[in-house]
Chains A and B, each alone.
Chain A
Amino acid sequence: MKEAVLIAGVGKRFGEVQVLQEVTLSVGEGELFGFIGADGAGKTTLFRILATLLLPDEGRSEVLGLDVVRSYRDIRKRIGYMPGKFSLYPDLSVEENLRFFASVFGTTVEKNYELIRDIYSQLEPFKTRRAGKLSGGMKQKLALSCALVHRPEVLFLDEPTTGVDAVSRKEFWQMLGRLREQGMTILVSTPYMDEAVLCDRIAFMQEGRMLALDTPTGITTLFRKPLFAIRARETWRLLCALRASSHAASVYAFGSALHYTDNRPAVRADELLVALQADGFTEVSVSVIQPGIEDTFIALMEEKQGSDHV
């Protein structure tokens, strides 16, 4: 597989703060690649380096085989970039925004209509509306159309679904899926774990470092301890009790259940159940579950923090 993006030992600091540290990975052509991490993990900085907007302090990076520092002008013509901030002109209408971005990339909406029809057709009924008056989901669809209108070979989407409602998020990811089918390389960053599953491969980012890199299913194998889902009538008291327990390795709320790992190597679900019932909890259920991406991410983060403290 040919590489669309290559990142080798990239680091970046802003003053005293090291925002990126030794990030190394490569993204294949036609891949839908996700960067997962909380705010401040360095995702935006990495995207800006790849979009040739920032210079890396260490390491080197290539997009489409071109160096991001030396050949930035050639790269800019061939990539699409959607910054995290709303980056359309609110005082221009939907159609004017699209035509503007088409024109600054030296093309027309008509020429590449095929590519954006899928997305833009949903916006067409509102094409005379000012972009500033669109809903969050619509804004992101328009921004995606604008980033796509010059038919880029690689698409960089920096947190495209942050602040967007659940339905629009789902639609947005369906669109990304269709673009990938057409062979476009897509790099996307997101703080949402449920979106990570939809990527071909994901990289976990934490405080400027890459914690892990694998396929969504592959990455969960990094989670080695047995994971229990525990439910009881009084969830809050249960959480406090488990946190206070000397055996608990990690406890956190996950939907209506608590996800729990124990620091004893071979503890069983029924042992935990009995212990909890003895503590006076009612309607208790304990089951072993498959760790998800979020569980893995939390575990990796804690492992990392633990090693930092030593």
Chain B
Amino acid sequence: MHSFKGFLLKEFYHIFRDRRTAAILFGMPLIQLLLFGFAIRNEIQEVNLGIYDQSHDAVTRQITDKLASSGYFVMTKELHSTKEIEHAFAEGGIAEAIVFEPGFASRMIREGRANVQVLTDGSNPNISKIITGYTGSVLQDYRNTAFKTAEVGVEAVPLMMFNPELKSVNLFVPGLMALILMLVSALMTSISITREKESGTMEVLLVSSLRPVEIIVGKVVPYFLLSFVNVVTVVALASFVFGVPCRGSVTLLMLESLLFIVTALSLGIFISTITSSQQVAMMISLAGLLLPTILLSGFIFPVASMPLPLRMISNLIPAKWYLIIVRGIMLKGTSFGFIWKETLVLAVMGAVLMVASIKKFKTRL
């Protein structure tokens, strides 16, 4: 026990004395959260709008005003010909152009319908789709209030459950938690063990009376605690700065996070048992863990829309399961009864990796 305590103390010295490690551990969660929260957003604000109004009547002006006052669009350009539209897009001055056909108002009154063309910049399909959606709903809204059409029809009234404003922060925070924990736990532990191998200190540790389990646990405990501090920081920041709710049980969220940390740590140790240099460990952690965590876990791209082979691979990524759990708890207020399967998957992954790394940990060089 005495020797284990000494080992732990040494690990904490390493972490706090190396400025780079400390910076990654404590700075990265903050910076990433702020980056994702403020800079990287899916919601659209201040779309530069060009109008080609061939009608110039009361209705087109009203629609234009309504678009401008919605808060999403900024009237940037008055266009005068079809040619000009293309030019304006190419210049990058506008992200959307709206074309009203000649005699818009009179046609609307006479025939009950009139044509408006919505053009967007397809070079960024995600944004285009969102802009088109916004414009459509503004137009729909106008039609409903201005012309109480007597037509019989079906009207879809959408309501986005759990995230009515479609705030992307709500989507990113769970993914970010997975990313940070993966980075801190897996990357840092794998580097810290391989560093001992590289510097020759592992030779001395092996000759000492420390058992392999003690060495592994001694490496894990500090990062376990620090990762937990990070989880608390991220959840607190997300809640106070960005108003991300935690609708479910905070205790459950923390327990599930601890489970994910253990899984990530086991992965880190496993990596370090199969590599012997810090550089290789870092490459494996970055290429083999971070990229899949970002791309295949459903953090940014939904798993459901991936082709089958990728969907199958995504099942192997711990972050995918953690993401389902965290989104469930934070945004939907899900209770344990609905996420026990995901929890079980994480627990099994963690246990298998931990046993494998203790088995694989060499008691010799």
Residues of A within 8 A of B (CB): 48, 51-55, 72, 76-77, 79, 81, 83-92, 96, 99-106, 146-147
Are A92 and B13 in contact, CB atoms less than 8 angstroms apart? yes
The 8 closest A-B pairs by CB, nearest first: A103-B6, A85-B200, A87-B200, A104-B208, A91-B17, A53-B365, A83-B203, A104-B3
Q: Does B324 contact A (CB under 8 A)?
A: no
The residue in chain A whose Cβ has the minimal distance to the Cβ of B17 is A91
Q: Indicate which residue in B7, B18, B201, B364 contacts A53 across the interface (CB closer than 8 Å).
A: B364
User: What are 9 residue pairs bridging A and B, where the CB atoms are less than 8 Å apart in the complex?
Assistant: A81-B203, A83-B200, A85-B200, A89-B199, A100-B9, A101-B208, A103-B2, A103-B6, A104-B6
Are B3 and A55 in contact, CB atoms less than 8 angstroms apart? no
Residues of the B chain whose Cβ atoms lie less than 8 Å from the Cβ of A101: 204, 208
Residues of B within 8 A of A (CB): 2-3, 5-7, 9-10, 13-14, 17-18, 199-201, 203-210, 363-365
**A77 CA to B7 CA, complexed, in Å:** 17
Residues of the A chain whose Cβ atoms lie less than 8 Å from the Cβ of B10: 89, 92, 96, 100
Are B203 and A87 in contact, CB atoms less than 8 angstroms apart? yes
Residues of the A chain whose Cβ atoms lie less than 8 Å from the Cβ of B13: 89, 91-92, 96
**A263 CA to B18 CA, complexed, in Å:** 62
Query: Measured between C-beta atoms, what is the minimum distance from A66 to chain B in Å?
Result: 14
Residues of the B chain whose Cβ atoms lie less than 8 Å from the Cβ of A52: 207, 364
**A55 CA to B365 CA, complexed, in Å:** 9
**A105 CA to B7 CA, complexed, in Å:** 11
**A81 CA to B7 CA, complexed, in Å:** 18
Please give 11 more A-B residue pairs, beta carbons under 8 A apart, in addition to A87-B199, A92-B13.
Answer: A51-B207, A77-B209, A85-B199, A85-B203, A87-B200, A100-B9, A100-B10, A103-B3, A103-B6, A104-B209, A146-B204
**A85 CA to B205 CA, complexed, in Å:** 14
Are B207 and A86 in contact, CB atoms less than 8 angstroms apart? no
The residue in chain A whose Cβ has the minimal distance to the Cβ of B1 is A106
Are A76 and B200 in contact, CB atoms less than 8 angstroms apart? no
Are A79 and B364 in contact, CB atoms less than 8 angstroms apart? no
Query: Measured between C-beta atoms, what is the minimum distance from B19 to chain A in Å?
Result: 10
Are B208 and A105 in contact, CB atoms less than 8 angstroms apart? yes
**A90 CA to B208 CA, complexed, in Å:** 19
Beyond A54-B365, A104-B209, is A89–B204 a contact (Cβ under 8 Å)?
A: no
Query: Measured between C-beta atoms, what is the minimum distance from B287 to chain A in Å?
Result: 28
Q: Which of B5, B9, B208 has the most chain A CB atoms inside 10 A of its CB?
A: B208
**A90 CA to B196 CA, complexed, in Å:** 11
Are A91 and B200 in contact, CB atoms less than 8 angstroms apart? no
Are B199 and A103 in contact, CB atoms less than 8 angstroms apart? no
**A86 CA to B201 CA, complexed, in Å:** 8
The residue in chain B whose Cβ has the minimal distance to the Cβ of A76 is B207
**A270 CA to B18 CA, complexed, in Å:** 68
Are A53 and B206 in contact, CB atoms less than 8 angstroms apart? yes
**A269 CA to B210 CA, complexed, in Å:** 63
Residues of the B chain whose Cβ atoms lie less than 8 Å from the Cβ of A81: 203-204, 207
Query: Measured between C-beta atoms, what is the minimum distance from A44 to chain B in Å?
Result: 10
Residues of the B chain whose Cβ atoms lie less than 8 Å from the Cβ of A83: 200, 203-204
**A79 CA to B203 CA, complexed, in Å:** 13
The residue in chain A whose Cβ has the minimal distance to the Cβ of B208 is A104
Q: Indicate which residue in B14, B203, B363 contacts A89 across the interface (CB closer than 8 Å).
A: B14
